[in-house]
A and B are shown apart, each in its own frame.
Chain A
């Protein structure tokens, strides 16, 4: 599904230049659940952001289902993103002024889904996420785990082909973290491709494959046998 070649990303500030990605080569198959691991500052988030079209690399190629995405203009990227991708962040990133229901509804609005259809889709996912009695609440009124479930719901409501998650459990205690991981697994089993950045090898153990980064390079790759066999 995804094929990345020689991706380079350099951040320039007034004083220093940081090479965040230094010739990344990787691929992701449709239906796969890939974890990206590595020490802090090695470029994981940068890679994920590039994959999510939130950031532009200096050079390289990024093919998504045979379409080259890096040559697109802003408008095309934005369109592609909202139709194909969903995001889950470490700090949830819910809009404080909107209720749970409205937060989840927002991507559907941007995708111009008609109102009745929106209502149906949001209610469906709210039920699935087990947050029905929270739908009128505002984010601040929820626990971290609940907030992250809302964030996942929001990422899923458009039925994206690819979900990108940047340390989704980073701000959660282990039991809430596990809930979220189980949710992602379930999702993956239903066919959604997932790329997740994580620090935790426990979380990574839920995935099919683990890519290790260091200083903007892929240094190793490990297939998680127990999960992958059932996939093949």
Chain B
């Protein structure tokens, strides 16, 4: 998925002496004003400027999904999206899924109960993509989940238990 539709929204703006521009991002329900270089990706900015370490780089080229961020609810590779283009959108990282006291989202709980991970480097990406899947297709079948999650790679090969987690999460979300 790309954010091409947002490109038109960007207008020229002042660059400071360090080559940075000022942008405002809506991250996990909070407004954040930061200075970034125009080529910095959303992933770099989330990690380096905002200290959110849930999004991670795995490939840097949009192939692995470890850097997944929900942009207005849809999964986007944070490594491909210039941070400036994320302005004006609702951004959700894994840190935004839990409750105020760290209560787990039902999808997170399902991943715990099925141990849907080994090293868990890929886990935030899988959980966020699963969230988008279950929002779009609340009755997703196992096969539909396989197709939707195909852009997230797990080198530990925890796939069977990831699918078990997602199918269980589907039931939990239906309550």
Q: Do A and B come from one complex?
A: no
Residues of A participating in the B interface, judged by any CB pair closer than 8 Å: none
Q: Which B residues contact A (CB, under 8 angstroms)? A: none
